[in-house]
Amino acid sequence: MHTPLKKKRLRLLAAGAAIACGALAVAPATAFASPVVQAETTSDADASTFRIATSGFVDSFNPFISIYLLPTNTIRYMYESLVQNSAEDGSPTEGLAEKWSTEDGGKKWVYTLHKDMKWSDGKPITSADVKYTYEQMMNVPELGTANGNLVTNFASVEAPDDLTVVINMKEPQAPNPGSEIPIVPKHVWEKIDKPAEFMNDSDVVGSGSFLLESYKANESITLKANPNFWRGAPKVDKLQYVYYTSSDAKVQALKAGDVDFVSDLEPTQFKALEGVDGITTHSGLGRRYASLTINPGYKTRDGKEYGTGNPALRDVEVRQAIRLGTDTKTLLDKVLDGQGVSATSFIPSSFPKWHLSDDDPAIVKFDPAAAKAKLDKAGWVVGSDGIREKDGKKLEINFLVTATEPVEQATAEFLVPWMKDIGIKLNVESTDSDTSSTRSMKADFDMMFTGWSVNPDPDYQLGINTCMNLPTNEDGTGGTTQDGYCNPEFDKLYKEQRSELDEGKRQKIVHDMLAMNYTDTVQIATWYKNGLEAYRSDRFDGFTTQPKDGGIIANQAGYWGFLTVAPVEGSSSTSGQGATTGLLIAGGVVLVVVIGGVIFYLVRRKNSADVE
Amino acid sequence: MSNSVPPSTTAIATSAHAEEHTRDTSAIRYLFSKLGGAAISLGMVIVLGFFAFKILPGDPVASIAKQRSMSPEQMDMLREQFGLNKPLWQQFIDYLVNVFTLNFGESYVYKTSVSSLIAQYFWPTILLTGTAAILAIVLGLWLGQKAAWKHGSRFDKFVSSSSLVLWSVPTFWLGLILLMVFGGTLHWFPTGGMRSPNPPTDFLGASIDIASHMVLPVITMVAVVYAQYLMVMRSSLVEEMSADYLTTARAKGLRDVQVRRRHAVPNAMLPTVTLIFMHLGGLIAGAVTVETVFSWPGLGKLTFEAITGPDLPLLQGTFVVFSTIIIAMNFIADLIYRQLDPRVRRA
């Protein structure tokens, strides 16, 4: 059946197919040409876009209501507050206000704003904006969602002239009331219908170093530099948060050059990035503390007992014995891989002014013999199985750990033998984080892990350790207590420090309080974990850490981290091209498959034609 | 990823009645019985969607406010905003009213309506899983019929066993390996997301941008799921191959390829098509893992974030949507099966 005509037709077909394939090959090449050009043009812009990998939640960018970490950190860049937490040690430094003073023993705070400051839309920043912001928070409960607790002591706010703000306090207050509250432009916000529902997620008018330009949920947050920022315009044009769900993906994105900065790394990820070309790792002193909280017997504010804590733990000697039998140095080295600082109290060492120093006389060392002596003194006798008993009851305590936290699991591994050594049986119970947070609230535990991020001023953290903040209800609601701690002596000192304007004296009182809490042992502070971060040092440098000496870059109590970041001379983006190369390869593969398919088809056609 | 979907009831043909029915009434009865079954499942899903998440331990407000400087008053205000201060029955009725008006309330975290969130995240999931499904089906069926035709051969053994190996690989792990090799190390493909942070604005550029982001997640999904299509196609074709009509076809002098393509494969497609539909629902639900690994902004990732929140209204919303898709796909599978297989029609 092979006629010359048919052969000719086949050849024609093959030639046609070849031409079609050629066209196909050229088409993607031209198609790819445009993104390549695009990638090159954006790479110029990229040289001054600093990209940060994130996985944080965004509720809104409204400074009155936003409570999640990522938007709160973003808002720090968007709106300046009256007083800023310094990079050095977090102590109050200039914000919108250049100076301030107190009158009437701390009942009146007077601020003077910098001259000639402008909002990003060019309108002047005046004391009326400050007054408006504070009064909104004081008078509209919904607008107090984010920082309402900071204005509860405000009696009234005055703006006698454009540059002066006066805050009248109900009670004398030593912590600077002007910090932490973002000031919004009155001329913009007073026109908003329902400010409590306003998302504030595009074209923000602000006073900070960077302003929100756009937000794509679960994709990216883009901030642009504010040329009107009173400290001067930043050195990069944009900050961009790029979303990654898993922390492993973040690490890969940094390696690939898709982002320039990652934070909150695990020690293993951190190690894997050490020595990678173009990447610098940074382990900085954080502002979080972790502790083992011991249930001392929870009570409501009016003295009703609740919770399921082991009664043995109400005895301070038993709690102290647990501390003496716990080797926090080893925990830090083995469990946290040494990436942190040994803790003394709930005020981290990154705030050296308030932190309880290691050589304070109250501090005790790991000493199992002393622990045993304490338990002997408390009447707990070692039984035949090595576990202590009193009145026929064994000294068994329950340790609640979160199943998804390797650090807690590992801590338990160490604690069990240590406790057994001093005669305490530790029962480890593993559960999910929601259950453990509920059980913590209901005081349904003996011992468990906890941790907080602490602000530069210690007032809040001290406050939640007073009897005043015990819950009002027996289900644990209606209070914000940290460890169920209540000591009238501590409360008395709390009041004193709150109105002590002499910083040296206040410092002394705070140290006394921390030592008192240490001795009462409702918690054993284990460590201040370092923030593990890494960045593309081939593209950017010039970060300002907080504290300036060895601190963290992201998650500061301030906006210093990315304020001074600058592109490295002669750097350019590596992203884009990489993806384009990949795409070209993929395109090539597709092309081969298509060509192969066409040839295959032609051959098949020929074969079946032969049969029929 | 859930690879298995419970077998449809159609697999077991309803018991044959002795009496003859007209085709119309039996068709309508069949439709209604399937529709009724789907409706009951949906009703149960809706009720379960409320109670399953209500019995979850934990106070959502406490979780959200965890480790934040919040006063009890601030927390009470959040409880009121979320409607958590209402009695349970009241919350249930609110939820039912919400569901029937296709509105799942307001997300705790995103502060916007759950239905608008779902609408926004729905299409990226469809794009990703749709592409993966088409590729997996084509690849699975094609390899499946080839393997069956030469069953017992080296080709068959290699294709079947390699697909089964991939099927048993944890999706998360495979995705992560691809991400590390082709994203982090070789820089061929983006490491996550659906678009570059500064995507090209022209249509072609934007499409290529999205396509490059799709490559790794699609490969991951296809690699893990194509085995099920392959195995179904293979086994039903192997069964078909012993049938007499194939001998007849061969006797006519048809070539092997033609016997396979024109006679055996179409018949073997019967069970395959229904299974494809049943698996599609599972595939969409399985997007949770892939979207999480590759930070793909779809329903799966939204669900993952809702779990970490925890964001109960959002969890309820995605749960009902995923379940509805699965129920709908099973329903369609039932209908198609009946349409394709005269034996079910007659039964």
Cβ distance of A222 and B197 shorter than 8 Å: yes
Cβ distance of B73 and A141 shorter than 8 Å: yes
- Is B147 in the same domain as B90? no
pLDDT at A446: 96
Per-residue pLDDT band at B311 (split at 50, 70, 90): confident
Cis peptide before A547 (omega within 30 of 0): yes
Q: Contacts of residue B309 in chain A, CB cutoff 8 Å? A: 57
Between B40 and A13, where is the model more confident?
A: B40
Q: Is residue B315 part of a domain?
A: yes
- Is A68 in the same domain as A140? yes
Cβ distance of B215 and A586 shorter than 8 Å: yes
pLDDT at B102: 80
Under DSSP, the state recorded for B11 is G
- Is A523 in the same domain as A549? no
- A38: nearest CA partner in chain B: B200
Question: Percent of chain B beyond pLDDT 90?
Answer: 19
pLDDT at B58: 66
Chain B interface, best mutation among A36, A254, A583, by max B CB count within 10 A = A583
Cβ distance of A608 and B180 shorter than 8 Å: no
Residue A604 CB neighbour total at 10 angstroms:
11
Of A35, A57, A59, the CB nearest to B209: A35
Q: Contacts of residue A68 in chain B, CB cutoff 8 Å? A: 109
Phi/psi for A136 (5° steps) reads -60, -45
Per-residue pLDDT band at A44 (split at 50, 70, 90): very low
Contact A51, A154 (CB under 8 A): no
A220-225 and A210-216 strand pairing: antiparallel
Closest by CA to A516, choosing from A462, A464, A454, A440, is A462
Q: Contacts of residue A438 in chain B, CB cutoff 8 Å? A: 57-59, 62
Q: Which of A505, A531, A557 is the last residue of a domain?
A: A531
- B213: nearest CA partner in chain A: A579
**Does residue B15 carry a pLDDT above 60?**
no
- A27: nearest CA partner in chain B: B204
- Is B156 in the same domain as B237? yes
- Is B148 in the same domain as B268? yes
**Does residue A41 carry a pLDDT above 50?**
no
What digits encode the pLDDT tens for the residues A387-401?
999 999 999 999 999
Closest by CA to A32, choosing from A575, A574, A572, A585, is A585
pLDDT at B239: 84
- Residue A149's domain comprises 51-243+539-567
Cβ distance of A434 and B301 shorter than 8 Å: no
Per-residue pLDDT band at B22 (split at 50, 70, 90): low
Cβ distance of B294 and A248 shorter than 8 Å: no
Cβ distance of B59 and A438 shorter than 8 Å: yes
User: What's the whole-number average pLDDT of chain A?
Assistant: 87
pLDDT at A45: 44
Instruction: Summarize the confidence of residues A527-542 as an average pLDDT.
Output: 95
Q: Is residue B162 part of a domain?
A: yes
- Is A408 in the same domain as A309? yes
Per-residue pLDDT band at A106 (split at 50, 70, 90): very high
- Is B158 in the same domain as B232? yes
**Does residue A37 carry a pLDDT above 50?**
no
Q: Contacts of residue A46 in chain B, CB cutoff 8 Å? A: 198
pLDDT at A33: 35
- Is A487 in the same domain as A450? yes
A396-402 and A425-431 strand pairing: parallel
Task: Name the burial class of residue A123, with classes exposed (0-12), middle (13-18) and buried (19+) by CB atoms within 10 angstroms of its CB.
Answer: middle
Cβ distance of A57 and B309 shorter than 8 Å: yes
Which region among B113-117, B163-167, B229-233, B278-282 has the lowest average model confidence (pLDDT)?
Answer: B278-282
Contact B340, B270 (CB under 8 A): yes
- Is B190 in the same domain as B271? yes
**Does residue A19 carry a pLDDT above 50?**
no
Q: What is the CATH number of the domain that holds A182?
A: 3.40.190.10
Alpha-carbon torsion angle A137, A141, A144, A145, nearest 10: -160
Between A151 and A39, where is the model more confident?
A: A151
Structure tokens at B19: 């009496």
Question: Rounded to whole angstroms, how far apart are CA atoms B81 and B83?
Answer: 5
Residue A501 CB neighbour total at 10 angstroms:
12
- Is B97 in the same domain as B225? no
Per-residue pLDDT band at A609 (split at 50, 70, 90): very low
- Is B297 in the same domain as B214? yes
Per-residue pLDDT band at A599 (split at 50, 70, 90): low
Question: Rounded to whole angstroms, how far apart are CA atoms A355 and A513?
Answer: 11
Contact A186, A128 (CB under 8 A): yes
What digits encode the pLDDT tens for the residues A288-308?
999 999 999 999 999 999 999
**Does residue A578 carry a pLDDT above 90?**
no
> How near does any CA of chain A get to the CA of B166, in Å?
21
| Rounded (to 5) percent helix, strand, coil in chain A | 40, 20, 40
Question: Percent of chain B beyond pLDDT 70?
Answer: 88
Closest by CA to A437, choosing from A404, A414, A406, is A404
Q: What is the CATH number of the domain that holds A419?
A: 3.10.105.10
Q: Is residue B159 part of a domain?
A: yes
Q: What 3-state class would DSSP assign to B10? A: helix
pLDDT at B307: 81
Token look-up 């958590």 returns B84
Residues 6+ apart with CB under 8 A from B70: A67, A149, A480
Q: Is residue A166 part of a domain?
A: yes
pLDDT at B71: 74
Q: Contacts of residue B112 in chain A, CB cutoff 8 Å? A: 199
pLDDT at A101: 95
- Is A556 in the same domain as A513? no
Task: Name the burial class of residue A369, with classes exposed (0-12), middle (13-18) and buried (19+) by CB atoms within 10 angstroms of its CB.
Answer: exposed
**Reported pTM:** 0.82
Q: Is the ipTM of this complex over 0.85?
A: no
- Is B136 in the same domain as B279? yes
- Is B150 in the same domain as B271? yes
Q: Is residue B53 part of a domain?
A: yes
Question: Rounded to whole angstroms, how far apart are CA atoms A469 and B332?
Answer: 58
**Does residue A594 carry a pLDDT above 80?**
no
Contact A520, A325 (CB under 8 A): no
> How near does any CA of chain A get to the CA of B153, in Å?
22
- Is B194 in the same domain as B320? yes
Q: Contacts of residue A243 in chain B, CB cutoff 8 Å? A: 192-193, 295, 297
Q: Which of B35, B69, B101 is the last residue of a domain?
A: B101
Q: Is residue B200 part of a domain?
A: yes
Per-residue pLDDT band at A552 (split at 50, 70, 90): very high
What digits encode the pLDDT tens for the residues A448-500?
999 888 999 999 999 999 999 999 988 888 888 999 999 999 999 999 999 99
- Is A127 in the same domain as A146? yes
Q: How many domains does chain B have?
A: 2
Question: Rounded to whole angstroms, how far apart are CA atoms B117 and B314?
Answer: 8
- Is B182 in the same domain as B92? no
**Does residue A161 carry a pLDDT above 90?**
yes
The H helix count followed by the E strand count for chain A is 15, 26
Instruction: Summarize the confidence of residues B174-197 as an average pLDDT.
Output: 90
- Is A502 in the same domain as A543? no
Q: Is residue A513 part of a domain?
A: yes
Question: Percent of chain A beyond pLDDT 90?
Answer: 72
Residues 6+ apart with CB under 8 A from B90: none
pLDDT at A436: 85
Per-residue pLDDT band at A415 (split at 50, 70, 90): very high
Question: Amino acid letter at A212?
Answer: L
- Is A300 in the same domain as A203? no
- Is A370 in the same domain as A402? yes
Q: Is residue A419 part of a domain?
A: yes
- Is A160 in the same domain as A291? no
Q: Contacts of residue A453 in chain B, CB cutoff 8 Å? A: 67
pLDDT at A605: 59
- Cross-strand bridge partners of residue A528: A341
A164-169 and A154-161 strand pairing: antiparallel
User: What's the whole-number average pLDDT of chain B?
Assistant: 82
Q: Is residue B110 part of a domain?
A: no
Return the ∠ at Cα A384 (arms to A378 and A385), rounded to 5°. 95
Q: Is residue A519 part of a domain?
A: yes
Cβ distance of A67 and B64 shorter than 8 Å: yes
Q: What 3-state class would DSSP assign to B190? A: coil
Per-residue pLDDT band at A47 (split at 50, 70, 90): low
> How near does any CA of chain A get to the CA of B12, in Å?
40
DSSP B239-294: HHHT-HHHHHHHHTT--HHHIIIIIIHHHHHHHHHHHHHHHHHHHHHTHHHHHHHT
- Residue B261's domain comprises 122-345
Instruction: Summarize the confidence of residues B240-251 as an average pLDDT.
Output: 80
Cβ distance of A582 and B78 shorter than 8 Å: no
Per-residue pLDDT band at A5 (split at 50, 70, 90): very low
What digits encode the pLDDT tens for the residues A375-384?
999 999 999 9
Cβ distance of A480 and B58 shorter than 8 Å: no
Cβ distance of A435 and B57 shorter than 8 Å: yes
Closest by CA to A354, choosing from A184, A513, A242, is A513
Which region among A195-204, A262-271, A330-339, B96-105 has the lowest average model confidence (pLDDT)?
Answer: B96-105
Per-residue pLDDT band at B263 (split at 50, 70, 90): confident
Q: Is residue B36 part of a domain?
A: no
Instruction: Summarize the confidence of residues A35-55 as an average pLDDT.
Output: 61
Of A31, A258, A453, the CB nearest to B67: A453
Q: Contacts of residue B219 in chain A, CB cutoff 8 Å? A: none
Per-residue pLDDT band at A604 (split at 50, 70, 90): low
Q: Is residue B76 part of a domain?
A: yes
**Does residue B10 carry a pLDDT above 80?**
no
**CB burial string A262-283: b at 16+ within 10 A, e below:** bbbbbbebbebbeeeeebbbbb
Per-residue pLDDT band at A582 (split at 50, 70, 90): low
Residue A610 CB neighbour total at 10 angstroms:
11
- B106: nearest CA partner in chain A: A59
**Does residue B166 carry a pLDDT above 50?**
yes
A359: enclosing H helix or E strand: none
Provide the terminal-to-terminal Cα distance of chain A, rounded to the nearest Å.
10
Cβ distance of B120 and A249 shorter than 8 Å: no
Phi/psi for A425 (5° steps) reads -90, 120
Token look-up 């912001």 returns A133
Per-residue pLDDT band at A366 (split at 50, 70, 90): very high
Q: Contacts of residue B203 in chain A, CB cutoff 8 Å? A: none
Cβ distance of A243 and B193 shorter than 8 Å: yes
Q: How many domains does chain A have?
A: 2
- Is A444 in the same domain as A552? no
Cβ distance of B297 and A258 shorter than 8 Å: no
- CA A158, distance to chain mean position in Å, is 34
Q: CA dist B25 to A101, A133, B12, B74, B346, Å?
A: 89, 71, 20, 62, 12
Which region among A1-15, A335-349, A480-494, B24-38 has the lowest average model confidence (pLDDT)?
Answer: A1-15
**Does residue B9 carry a pLDDT above 50?**
no
- Is B270 in the same domain as B209? yes
Phi/psi for A109 (5° steps) reads -115, 130
Question: Rounded to whole angstroms, how far apart are CA atoms A321 and A370?
Answer: 7
- Is A550 in the same domain as A485? no
Question: Rounded to whole angstroms, how far apart are CA atoms B236 and B226?
Answer: 16
pLDDT at B18: 44
Q: What 3-state class would DSSP assign to A53? A: strand
Size of interface A-B (CB pairs under 8 A): 200
Cβ distance of A582 and B215 shorter than 8 Å: yes
